Structure 1
Amino acid sequence: MRRFLFTYTLAVLPWLACAAPAKADTAGFSSHVQPLSSGEDVYRHVCQSCHMPDARGAMGAGAQFPALAGNPKLQSGAYPVYVILNGFGGMPWFAGVLDDTQIANVVNYVRTHFGNHYTDAVTPADVAAQHPAVIPQEE
């Protein structure tokens, strides 16, 4: 029996090595990731995992994620732009991850939803003006 298995294995190995892998059917899939263009899209895919779907924040496991719902700090559009670009506390920065339009859109979304009624819109130009300064390195 051992001899049979050994012979069978030797006979099958070359065939397995030459067999082409099966191709997956990808007809229904796009090769591009859909951009997050609306503020709601950005919030749902980037922000809500920490700030929660209702924007009421969360606390636990040694971390605190502040509520954005009814948050008076959002009165100035410059504040959330700064926090998104530079990070704050445990929040990472998103400069270079989200573009200026995405940041403006999510700030405007948060400032006009979840019990917030701040209607003075932030523009991509407002976001661009707050980008961290790049310090040139000496050569």
Structure 2
Amino acid sequence: MKTILTAATLIATLAVSGAAVAQDFVQSGTTPTLPQREGQAIYNAVCSGCHMADGRGAEGAGAYPPLANSDFVESPDAVIAWVLNGYRAMPPLGSIMDDEQVAEVVNYVRHNLGNSYEGSSTAADVQAMRE
């Protein structure tokens, strides 16, 4: 019985949080990339479903590492590579974001969520990693 209640709670939580994220993830039919242009908006639309809005991460059907207060995001090149190509269970997102969008979300994660790493990534940095 406890397992059924735990599963029901998880499903309800994912359904509620997923609905808000799915609503933000609407793509227009005129562009192959996300409509969001700012780092926080991209994070909220794509990343927060697994890593949570505050970046604390989650465990349930899978393990989603925290990005908040995290040494994991110190290297901008590593974060760019993960966004472009995926990392472990994280899917590659390079096909739905242009270079500027990738740079924006990387900068958001590295400068917010309790992180304050130096330096900013640019679209040129992302383009170089795509090649």
Give 1:31 deviation, angstroms.
8.5
Report what 1:126 is aligned to: 125
In structure 2, the CA distance between the partners of 1:96 and 1:116, relative to structure 1 (3 Å rule), is: same
Which residue of the partner structure matches residue 55 of structure 1?
55
- Quickly say closer, same or farther: Cα 1:118–1:60, change in 2 above 3 A: same
**C-alpha distance in 2 between matches for 1:68 and 1:112:** 11
State the one-letter code of the partner of 1:73. Answer: F
2:93 paired with 1:94: yes
Pairing 1:66-81 to 2, within 5 Å after superposition: 66-81=65-80
Q: Deviations over 1:62-83 (max 9, x none)?
A: x101100011121111011000
| 1:42 alignment partner in structure 2 | 42
Shift of 1:32: 6.8
Measure how far apart 1:93 and its partner are: 0.1
Q: Distance in 1 between matches of 2:121 and 2:109?
A: 11
Per-residue displacement from partner, 1:12-66 (whole Å, max 9, x unpaired)?
xxxxxxxxxxxxxxxxxx98788201000100111100100110100112x1011
Structure 1 stretches of 5 or more lacking a match? 1-29, 134-139
How many residues in Structure 1 have an aligned counterpart in Structure 2?
A: 102
**Which protein has the larger Cα radius of gyration, Structure 1 or Structure 2?**
1
CA distance, structure 1, for counterparts of residue 29 and residue 89 of structure 2? 34
The TM-score, its normalising length taken from structure 2, stands at 0.72
The letter of the residue matching 2:96 is: V
Structure 1 distance, partners of 2:44, 2:38, is: 10
Q: Give, in whole Å, the separation in 1 of the partners of 2:80 and 2:96.
A: 13
Q: CA RMSD in A?
A: 1.9
Moved segments of 4+, more than 6 Å? 30-34
CA separation of 1:129 and 1:117: change in aligned 2, threshold 3 A: same
* Identity among equivalent pairs (%): 41
Give the deviation of 1:119 after TM superposition.
2.8
Gaps of 5+ in 2: 1-27
